[in-house]
Amino acid sequence: MYSDAFCKIYNKLGWNYFPEAFGEQLLSWLKKNRVTVHTSLDLACGTGVLCQLLHKNGIQASGMDFSEGMIKIARGNDPSIEYEVADMITYRPDRRFDLVTCTGDALNHILKADDIEKIFRNVFSYLNAEGWFIFDILNDREIPSREPFDFDFDDKTRARFTVTRDADGVITMKTAVFENGIFQFEECVREIVHDHKVICSLLEKTGFQICGCRHQLLEESEGKATTWYIIARKSPAA
């Protein structure tokens, strides 16, 4: 769970670029494939960037996240969108959706394969028949430890990031925030790189059909391959 202090700086780090880019590609993908979506749920929605984009495009979008600070910002950005604070490992909403998404490496925050399986089973249960589950995970290339690097928000606020990778493959990103050179707080986010083939077989085991596993949601797009986009569908008979 992200601390409130970290949630407040999250918006300023430029990371909203990911859900914006994902959302634009998703809307094009839906159009190109003539997929009609009335209702959507964004798991680990963060500050609600993707929900807002889908909502503006006529979809009844909703989101959930277990960091209260992120949901507070999301609700502040658009109070008409429904958000919930919950853990996606156990989350079982009492309604179904045409589309479930999960972006910005949120599934890499789930460190245990058992918990990934639970999420997939839950998503399967609250997707409509023939519904879509579209998400990203980090590319399973090596992510090495890195020397600390800095990001200046403005003249007085600076974040220092340190990335370390342990023997179990868990990546810890430590963010230390300074104001006028004085340390304010520190946040550690832990992620793990999943093997995309294992993820796809877990989806199939759950009953999903894999419709795509690629480096761009839109095949014709270009870009750095830091991510796998996985497009899974609940089979009509399920």
Pick out residues in 108-147 that bind ligand SAM (CB under 6 A): 109
Provide the minimum distance between the beta carbon of 109 and ligand SAM in the complex, in angstroms, as a whole number. Answer: 4
Q: Taking CB under 6 A as the rule, does residue 98 contact ligand SAM? A: no
Nearer to ligand SAM, 57 or 209 (CB): 57
What is the per-residue burial (b if ≥16 Cβ within 10 Å, else e) of 184-216? eeebeeebbbbebeebbebbeebebeeebbeeb
Cα–Cα distance, 147 to 132 (Å, whole number): 39
- For ligand SAM, the nearest residue by Cβ is 104
The answer to whether 61 touches 40, Cβ cutoff 8 Å, is yes
Q: Taking CB under 6 A as the rule, does residue 228 contact ligand SAM? A: no
**x/- site string to ligand SAM, residues 41 to 80, per CB under 6 A?**
---xxx--x---------------xxx--x----------
The per-residue DSSP string of 158-175 comes to: EEEEEEEE-TTSEEEEEE
Nearer to ligand SAM, 104 or 131 (CB): 104
Pick out residues in 24-43 that bind ligand SAM (CB under 6 A): none
Q: 154: Cβ–Cβ under 8 A, 6 or more apart, which residues?
A: none
What are the angstrom distances between the C-alpha of 209 and each of 30, 204, 237?
17, 6, 12
Cα–Cα distance, 18 to 35 (Å, whole number): 22
Provide the minimum distance between the beta carbon of 60 and ligand SAM in the complex, in angstroms, as a whole number. Answer: 19
Nearer to ligand SAM, 129 or 188 (CB): 188
Q: How many residues bind to ligand SAM according to rule CB under 6 A?
A: 19
Cα–Cα distance, 10 to 8 (Å, whole number): 6
The DSSP 8-state label assigned to residue 218 in this structure reads S
Nearer to ligand SAM, 68 or 140 (CB): 68
Residues that bind ligand SAM (CB under 6 A): 2, 18-19, 44-46, 49, 65-67, 70, 87-89, 103-106, 109
